Structure 1
Amino acid sequence: MKNVFILCAMTMLVLMTSCTSTIPDETTRRVPQFENEEVEVWKSIIYPSQPLSMHRHDNPRAIIALKGGTLKVVNQNGDSHDMTWESGKAYWLEADTPGELHGDVNEGTEPIEVIVVQMKK
């Protein structure tokens, strides 16, 4: 019985270590929150100097800034503009122009955290 307990304890330790070491705490990421037929909801944590890859949003979305900041939005043609998110405020963004991609860069010194509620229709 003692050996089973030790084996279980070691297994738990390995699992906990592997779970916590797979995603560093300071890595830009998207964390799914909720999804149904109408909406997809995720939390984005965008760390300074960790650009998001080129992407697009085919549907409109609401953004709720948990920790605000300024993102530089870089379009595929090289043009860019800043979007400033104020903590505690909500914003509405229309769908991206069809066929156009953009990337986002947090050029500040603190992470930006937002909740995105993207419509599916």
Structure 2
Amino acid sequence: MDYEKQLENDTVCVSYLKLMPHEEIGEHYDVYPHVVIALQGGVVTRLEADGSRVLVEFPTGKAVFRPAETPAKMHRTINASNEEIVLIVVQLTSDPVPL
């Protein structure tokens, strides 16, 4: 995985993320609401803590909103395709989800 934090302040954290084919992001939950802009889109598979699988599409050139989550929404993310996925992730850090 190629990850680079590009900008961070009191309001946002902007990151560049490249997921290679079949690459996995380890267990996590998304603390902040965020907007994802796909420079090279694709579909990722979320492996939820309860064992279910959810497909999430990031169309090339489009913005997708993803809400904040609580620790109960722990998951892993996999690029199950044969193509790399390149994203810009804009976390809205000024308003975290209450625990």
TM over 0.5: yes
Structure 1 residue 78 displacement after superposition: 1.1
Alignment of 1:76-87 (within 5 A): 76-87=49-60
> Which one-letter code corresponds to 1:113 in the other structure?
V
CA distance in 1, matches of 2:72, 2:82: 32
Moved over 4 A (4+): none
1:16-59 Cα shifts (integer Å, max 9, x gaps)? xxxxxxxxxxxx13211100001111011011111110111111
Establish whether residue 116 from structure 1 lines up as the match of residue 92 from structure 2: no
Higher relative contact order (CA 8 A, sep 6+): 2
> Which one-letter code corresponds to 2:6 in the other structure?
Q
Instruction: Find the counterpart in structure 2 of residue 34 from structure 1.
Output: 7
Establish whether residue 104 from structure 1 lines up as the match of residue 66 from structure 2: no
CA distance in 2, matches of 1:98, 1:91: 22
CA distance in 1, matches of 2:70, 2:47: 14
Instruction: Give ranges in structure 2 of 5+ residues lacking alignment.
Output: none
CA RMSD for the aligned pairs?
1.1
> Aligned residues: percent identity?
30
Instruction: Give ranges in structure 1 of 5+ residues lacking alignment.
Output: 1-27
CA distance in 1, matches of 2:22, 2:83: 10
CA distance in 2, matches of 1:86, 1:99: 27
**CA radius of gyration, larger in:** 1
TM score, norm. by length of structure 2: 0.89
Instruction: Find the counterpart in structure 2 of residue 59 from structure 1.
Output: 32
Q: Which has the higher strand share?
A: 2
Instruction: Find the counterpart in structure 2 of residue 91 from structure 1.
Output: 64
Q: How many positions carry a matched residue from both structures?
A: 94
